[in-house]
Amino acid sequence: MSGSRTSRSVSPEKKLSETLGGKEAKHPVASAKNVNITSTTPTQTLPNKSKESDSLPVDQGKGSPATQSNLRSDMGVEARLTGPLETALFEEPSSATNLAMEPHEKRSAPYPVASIAEKFQASQDQCEILKNRVFELQRNLQEAHGVIFSLQRQQQRLTETEAADDFKSLCGAVEELIGTKLGESLDEKLLMKEKSLKLEPSEMLLNLIPFPGRDAFKFPETDEHNITAAVMRFLCREIFNREFYCFIGEKEHEPLLSDFMRSVDKSMKNLEPRRDKMAYRTWRSETYTAITSRHEFGRIREKRIFFLTHCLTAMLLLFIPRADERKLHANIRHAIIEPAFALAHKMHLSVDYFTIEWSRYHNSQPSQRSSFPGGLHLHDLELIDYMDKGKLIRSAPSGNVHYMFDITPRLVFTKVKGDSVAEPKVLRKPKLLVSVLKEGFRLRDPASKSGEDITSLGWLERNLMSISKHRQRGR
């Protein structure tokens, strides 16, 4: 039995020799006779060797073959670690030594299978926690985006280019419609041939023409320009120059609603702590945006479009009494009223200021408009020369420039910056009718010679004055 155990203990030595390449070790390895196999405490063991293998009795080796195999394995480990090479083997074990380990020795390794499984499970739990955290952060980020966007000012921005193009198209549409629909009738003076006169549209039209325009009634071929100017004034008065371009309630309630909105505007400007101009303009834009989003507003807007189209159609029918009223109504609505409403909608909902203004001469008396104070600046004005068949003046004229009346107004843009505004910028110059005269000449009155009405508007004004006098006598 002793010899059998000795022979078994030599086997690890042979394996060690093979591992070292078959060479003799510099330090002799302890032989089997130096190993005390009856001792339950080995001379030197692995740091992580289990207590179960340390306390295994030798007598149990006589049991089953598996038990004897475990015993031989323990003896082999003790043999390998008994001697001067044990430090080197412990610090850097070779692959061959690892392959020589028996199953029991693997169960005694520093990282048992149970420990790895626990760590894997812990990693999975941590991963699940992190996933839930990511989902939560994504949800919070989405909510934060919603809050940020809700706090941002919903500013209705109308660009300078867009406004200038739309206004230019509108002015061109008015001039084209007057020229194509009324041109021949004005030349033939069909209005003067009518036996009856519609008073309401006639008075409405003349009320749209200021003093300079009326003074031009005595000059031939001014009707077309004067009627164009009257249509533009109609659009300014009824649409562009209002607090808001359309009624926000029923007509009978409109004065109260307008007064209410003006009072709120005033309160906004006087709030404490004080709001800057940008905050006030943003509030106004969003308020009217909300008003125009109501279903009722669409119905009110449609009624207003129809009414203004009807009024303008009635005024123009004075000069073309035999025209198809329905077709003219449709043309005026499509070419003039609807584009004017669309432009005014964008202008009045804008945070920045867009205004339509006439020149400073548009309502002046004759003594105030004989010349241009401060000189004539063509970069600010678009001048049409009456004496040159209505041609555009492209360079500074050499003679005297006599103002007659405004044909179309100008479009001005003012940008809001915090609590201030930038310098006003003219996006579209006003168009003025002037007469360029040589030095020493003045514009004469052709009507004073003949005593006849030179223009249809002059005839209309004279007849309305006669009717008015007749009414006064009847009272």
Q: Which residues pair with 437 in a beta bridge?
A: 400
Are 177 and 235 a contacting pair, CB within 8 Å?
no
Q: What is the pLDDT of residue 306?
A: 98
Location of structure tokens 């980020």: 141
Tell me the backbone φ, ψ of residue 102, rounded to 5 degrees: -85, 165
Q: Is 436 exposed, middle or buried (0-12, 13-18, 19+ CB in 10 A)?
A: middle
Q: The tokens of 163 are what?
A: 């406004």
Residue 99 and residue 169 in one domain: no
pLDDT, mean of residues 284-304: 92
The answer to whether residue 139 is domain-embedded is no
Q: Mean pLDDT for the chain?
A: 77
Q: Is residue 26 part of a domain?
A: yes
* For the ranges 55-64, 233-242, 362-371, the one whose mean pLDDT is highest: 233-242
Residues 86, 169 within the same domain: no
* Residue 69 forms part of a structural domain: yes
pLDDT at 475: 61
Residue 376 has pLDDT above 70, yes or no: no
Please determine, for residue 187, whether its predicted confidence score (pLDDT) is greater than 90: no
Query: 102 and 170 in one domain?
Result: no
The contacts of residue 310 (CB under 8 Å, 6+ apart) are: 329
Distance CA 248, CA 244 (A): 8
**315 located within any domain:** yes
If one counts the domains in the chain, the total is 2
Residue 283: phi and psi, rounded to 5, are: -60, -45
Could you tell me if 93 and 169 lie in one domain?
Answer: no
Asked whether residue 327 falls in the same domain as residue 435, the answer is yes
Radius of gyration of the chain (CA): 52
Check residue 55 and give its pLDDT. Answer: 43
Beta bridge partner(s), residue 416 = 421
Exposed / middle / buried, residue 225 (Cβ in 10 Å: 0-12, 13-18, 19+): buried
Helix (H) and strand (E) counts in the chain = 19, 9
**If DSSP codes are grouped into helix, strand and coil, which group holds residue 29?**
coil
Residue 240, in any domain of the structure:
yes
94 with 200, same domain: the answer is: no
pLDDT at residue 236 greater than cutoff 80: yes
- Kindly state whether residue 154 falls inside one of the protein's structural domains: no
Q: How far, in whole angstroms, is CA 449 from its chain's centroid?
A: 63
Find the domain containing 284 and state its range. 160-474
Q: What is the DSSP code string of 395-420?
A: S--SSEEEEEEEEE-EEEEE-EETTE
